[in-house]
Each structure stands twice: as structure tokens, then as C-alpha cells.
Amino acid sequence: MKEIIVREPLPVPHAHFYQGVTEEQEGHTHALLGFSKPLNGTSFDRHYHYVEGVTTFDNNHYHRFYVKTGPPIPMLDGTHYHLFEGKSYRNYTEAEPTQFGGVVYSPQQKKVHQHLFSGRTSGPIGY
């Protein structure tokens, strides 16, 4: 007879809305907002989420970013949120002209910059 292995159910998967802002560099800032990657976790298990995307389009350019949140911070209602911080990918300080925005790479070497950023998530979405 086969032995049946009984597992505890996994915590419910969830995601978080996130928002943050970059520090000022070269006279401008960018905002970050979106949704984290979903993950199974509770308010007490030290799980984390990945936050990635593209900043707002300011000063004729944007920056890509990719960061892992910190562990969950429990709230009084039993849910949790996460904090995050990181550094954006570099982009030109004086962007090449584009028709629709984005990045056009210059054949000449140009000055680049990047931004430090921080933010927090909302409580869980998807419980």
C-alpha cells in the first residue's frame, strides 16, 4: 500500500501595489509605481517580492529598475506591507531625441546618470 503524504497547504498567493520616488539627480526625479510579482507568504514568514518596471518619463527619459523588497512588516489588522530601496539603471543625462520616448543609444560616449530610490508597498492584494 502506498503511503500518502499530507502537506500543510501553502499560504495564499498575493501581490502588492507599490509606489516610490527617486532622489533628485541632474535636476529631476522620477516616480515608480506598479504591482509586485505574486508570491505565497504570510505576515510572519520573511518572504519577499520582486519589484520591477520603468520609472515615469521625466526630463525626456525614463529608467529601468529591478529590486527585491524587504521582509513583511506586520500591521495591526493581520496583513503586512514591504519596504524597498535600490538604484535605477543608468540613462543619458541629455537624452537623444526620440519620436515616442524611450531610449535611443548614441554612437558617441555621453554622460549618464542613475537615481537611488525607495518606497513601500500596500497591503496584500489577492487574499
Mean pLDDT of the chain, nearest integer: 88
pLDDT for the residue numbered 104: 60
CB-based contact 119:18 (threshold 8 Å) = yes
> Is the pLDDT reported for residue 101 higher than 60?
no
Nearest to 13 by CA among 31, 47, 37, 38: 38
120: cell is 513601500
Whole-number Å distance between alpha carbons of 56 and 30: 5
CA count, 13 A, side-chain hemisphere, 63: 27
- Give residue-wise pLDDT tens across range 40-66: 999 999 999 999 999 998 888 889 999
pLDDT for the residue numbered 106: 61
> Is the pLDDT reported for residue 11 higher than 90?
no
123: cell is 497591503
At 34, give phi and psi (nearest 5°): 165, -155
Average pLDDT for 109-127: 89
Task: Quote the pTM value.
Answer: 0.81
Whole-number Å distance between alpha carbons of 103 and 99: 10
- Give residue-wise pLDDT tens across range 60-93: 888 999 999 999 999 999 999 999 999 998 887 7
Whole-number Å distance between alpha carbons of 7 and 40: 15
Which comes out higher in pLDDT, residue 17 or 89?
A: 17
Question: In sequence order, what are the beta bridge partners of 34?
Answer: 18
